[in-house]
Amino acid sequence: MVSKVRLYVDQPLGQGQTVPLAREQAHYLFGVMRLAEGAVLSLFNGHDGEWDAKVTEASRKGGVLTCEAQTRPLQLPPDLWLVFAPIKKERTDFIVEKAVEMGARRILPVQSEFTNSGRVKQDRLQAHAVEAAEQCGGTYVPGVAEMQKLSRVLDQWPDDRQIMFCDETMIGAASTLAAQTRGAWAILIGPEGGFSDTERKRLHRMDQAVPVSLGPRILRADTAAVAALTLWQSALGDW
Ligand code: SAH
């Protein structure tokens, strides 16, 4: 069976609800995916779960979908943020995509002292998150925040959110993740250059931070993000 087309929309979804399509959406559904009137596809909007919707009008410039039945309720990922220092463009895109697939609630790019990538385009990264959710069957799209300074993010860090601090100097230390309690968490991954001494000292002093090792080798930041998400999910998440 050919799997159904999945599309993220930002309109409300519900029984009988009609969803007008923007030009690019019509182009994708009718031009690229070759759907015609009467075809059924899956819709989600990050709030109302997943719905079967029928194409009730199709043209080059637009169209209308009509929701028929809910196929899945909203499934929120665990309350996990991924905080990371952006690296090269494609690798940053990869990190966002993987964070969505692995089940993060929020994605926060941060500028640390040794971050060498200047600006990241929030809207581009958010579009990547949407695509990843469409592809992986998710009913939720994590928000991607604008890039902020790591020091600022730590200044405002909530008391009740633990940090799985991936610290490359902890190599050899035994894992303590399994002994932690579930709840609000964040994973923190540094840039290619790693964390500065000041950042590391500050993190080690924070009550919320749990410094962890990701094995005996130094991983690239994108590998580290996937490894950390896997460890956290299997110890404290929804896997
Ligand atoms: N340049 C640094 C390595 C940075 S690796 C050095 O040579 O020491 C990029 C980020 O991935 C690190 O800041 C850390 O958050 C994470 N990371 C990579 N390997 C790790 C490991 N073995 N243990 C814990 N964190 C790791």
Distance 194 CA to ligand 1 centre (A): 6
Residue spans per domain, the chain: 6-72, 80-236
For ligand 1, the distance from its centroid to the CA atom of residue 121, given in whole angstroms, is 24
pLDDT of residue 55: 98
Q: Is 86 in the pocket of ligand 1 (CB under 6 A)?
A: no
What CATH class is the domain 6-72? mainly beta
What is the predicted pLDDT for the residue at 3? 77
136 CB neighbour count, 10 Å cutoff: 13
Residue with tokens 């779960």: 49
The one-letter amino acid code at 10 reads D
Is 33 close to ligand 1, i.e. is its CB under 6 Å away?
Answer: no
Which residues, other chains included, contact 32 with Cβ-Cβ below 8 Å and sequence gap of 6+?
A: none
What pLDDT does 2 receive?
Answer: 64
Task: Specify the pTM.
Answer: 0.95
Q: Tokens 């609000």 correspond to what residue? A: 184
Q: Rounded distance, CA 187 to CA 192, Å?
A: 16
Which residue has its alpha carbon closest to ligand 1 atom 18? 219
The whole-angstrom separation of Cα 188 and Cα 17 is: 41
**Predicted confidence (pLDDT) per residue in 86-125, tens digit:** 999 999 999 999 999 999 999 999 999 999 877 889 999 9
- Decide: 190 in ligand 1 pocket, CB within 6 A: yes
Mean pLDDT, range 158-162, rounded to an integer: 98
**Which residue of 82, 88, 168 sits with most ligand 1 atoms within 8 Å of its CB, as the best mutation to test the pocket?**
168
pLDDT at 173 over 60: yes
Write out pLDDT tens, residues 219-237: 999 999 999 999 999 999 9
| Residue with CA at minimum distance from ligand 1 atom 4 | 194
Asked if 67 contacts 42 with a C-beta cutoff of 8 angstroms, the reply is: no
> Residue 172 — very low, low, confident or very high, per pLDDT cuts 50/70/90?
confident
Residue-wise pLDDT for 50-82, tens only, equals 999 999 999 989 999 999 999 999 999 999 999
CATH superfamily of domain region 80-236: SPOUT methyltransferase, trefoil knot domain (3.40.1280.10)
CA of 214 relative to ligand 1 center, distance in Å? 8
Q: What is the pLDDT of residue 192?
A: 92
